[in-house]
Amino acid sequence: MEILQSAVIFLLVFSFSFTVKVPDNESPYEKFLRQHVDPDMSVQKCNSEISKRKITAKAGNDCKKVNTFIQANKRDVNAVCGNAGNRVVDTNLTKSNQPFPVVTCQLKSGERRPHCQYRGRSSTRYIVLRCDKGWPVHYDEGIIDVNSSG
């Protein structure tokens, strides 16, 4: 019986270690990384990653309709705000000079956490970011322009 109790405690501790706690003082850059950067992301992981990272719509626990993960390390993504990107004319946005592999997770059912179910799709695209003092702070989901380079 003691072994069973130890195993249950271990499993509980182990499972909680994979849940991301969103800190109260999370910076915009940290939030951007949590929501949009994962070099190991796959279409099969949309449900688990969005849940684990506590990604929601702006209205509390509502399911986010679309979330895109950039499949790159943070150094390469950060570089878009420097010499690896160009400002988009008449905006405060920066577009990458090179396309990135991404996984776009589209809500297929559910309205509120934890009942959000997503369908993932892989693609390659130029990423468009809002940068603040040289750091990415927002991924622009609405601009998809894979055919132009600058």
Instruction: Report the pLDDT value the prediction gives residue 149, as an integer from 0 to 100.
Output: 44
Q: What is the CATH number of domain 27-139?
A: 3.10.130.10
Instruction: Report the pLDDT value the prediction gives residue 10, as an integer from 0 to 100.
Output: 38
Instruction: Report the pLDDT value the prediction gives residue 63, as an integer from 0 to 100.
Output: 95
Instruction: Report the pLDDT value the prediction gives residue 141, as an integer from 0 to 100.
Output: 75
At residue 60, what are phi and psi to the nearest 5 degrees?
Answer: 65, -115
Q: Block means of pLDDT (10 residues each) for the chain, length 150 residues?
A: 44 40 80 97 97 88 95 98 94 95 96 92 96 96 53
Picking from 29, 111, 1, the residue whose alpha carbon sits closest to that of residue 62 is 111
Instruction: Report the pLDDT value the prediction gives residue 105, as an integer from 0 to 100.
Output: 98
Omega within 30 of 0 (cis) for the link into 114 = yes
The domain ranges of the chain are 27-139
Rg of the chain, C-alpha, whole Å: 18
For residue 33, give both structure tokens: 């990384």
What's the predicted TM-score (pTM) here?
0.79
Instruction: Report the pLDDT value the prediction gives residue 83, as an integer from 0 to 100.
Output: 95
Catalytic annotation, residues: 36, 138
Picking from 36, 47, 138, the residue whose alpha carbon sits closest to that of residue 92 is 138
Distances (CA, A) of 112 to 36, 45, 97: 20, 18, 36
Instruction: Report the pLDDT value the prediction gives residue 4, as an integer from 0 to 100.
Output: 43
Picking from 96, 110, 98, 131, the residue whose alpha carbon sits closest to that of residue 50 is 110
**Would you give the distance in Å from CA 7 to the centre of its chain?**
33
